[in-house]
Structure 1
Amino acid sequence: MTVSVGDTAPDFSLPDQDKQVVTLTDLRGAPVLLVFYPFAFSGICTGELCQLRDELATYTDAGVKVLAVSTDPVFSLKAFREKEGLDFPLLSDFWPHGATAQTYGVFNEKAGMALRATYLLDADGVVTFAQVNQPGDAREQSAWKDAVGQLAA
């Protein structure tokens, strides 16, 4: 079952690219943009995360913390972050493989990867925006910015 608008986002604790554990509930008090993506270094994912990098101020200026989640191991995420100059945490849902994506209902079991899913959580952890795209279907990030604007209003 996919997490929907109005749901409280399921908590998780995942290591980032530097093996520092990030726990979602520890971020309460600020909005969070949670971006699941299939794989580091893949074409569409790289394009999406680089666009997010280039437009990061849209989110951070509104007080939104950005977290990107994939099923890649931390070592791949560290190399990906350094190569692309990504300035937000890349979280590893590697082991147990895809457990967090499964909890959100956005795990493609056949391919062993997360779907392209985006959630905007308010300061209390309630989902205010949810979008799930299939593999190969790039996301239009203007919807994310609109959701951030509505949350800030």
Structure 2
Amino acid sequence: MTPAPSPLAVGDVAPDFSLRDQNGAEVTLSELTAQKNVVVVFYPWAFSGICTGELDEIRDHLERYVTDDLQVLCVSCDAVFSNRAWADIQGYFFPLLSDAWPHGEVARAYGVLNEANGASLRGTFLVGRDGRVAWTLVNGPGEPRDFTAIPSAVAALAG
């Protein structure tokens, strides 16, 4: 098995992608970054405890993640249908993108695919309008992430 590449670092060009959200709509990173900064949040599994807590945090403080200058995109290797069921149950009205096929291609491009279990690590990437990573945080399985630094990272982009 080939080792996964290292996660993207600040200054790296964020690989572009087009994935389907929980409603089946195609979402393309470069189309969004042409208009605003984007926080890409990789999560391992829909319906799991830590992932639910993290996405509940986004839902409960959506004004921090969806503004005139910022959009959050949550990405997992789960199927569109799993993401839709989870979004409906939890009240997630922000994009949950399916990286199911080719399996984990986007997570792999960002260096956060756990090849051993086929799920992504808890990778968070703030992508600026220039298409480069401006801030990042990667946590392993079982390690909940702390989103508190995102607002200041976004403010730093506004300069």
CA-based RMSD of the aligned residues comes to 1.1
Offset of residue 117 of structure 1: 0.3
Say which of 31, 46, 51 aligns to 1:40: 46
Cα separation, 2, equivalents of 1:130 and 1:108: 17
Residues 37 and 70, structure 1, Cα contact 8 Å, conserved in 2: yes
In structure 2, the partner of 1:30 is 36
In structure 2, the partner of 1:15 is 20
Q: Percent identity?
A: 51
Moved over 3 A (4+): none
In structure 1, the partner of 2:84 is 78
In structure 2, the partner of 1:147 is 153
- In structure 2, stretches of 5+ residues that fail to align are none
In structure 2, the partner of 1:134 is 140
Aligned residues: 153
Offset of residue 148 of structure 1: 1.7
What TM-score do the two structures reach when normalised by structure 2? 0.92
What TM-score do the two structures reach when normalised by structure 1? 0.95
Residues 29 and 124, structure 1, Cα contact 8 Å, conserved in 2: no
Cα separation, 2, equivalents of 1:21 and 1:124: 21
Specify the SS of the correspondent of 2:55.
Answer: helix
Offset of residue 64 of structure 1: 0.4
Cα separation, 2, equivalents of 1:141 and 1:83: 23
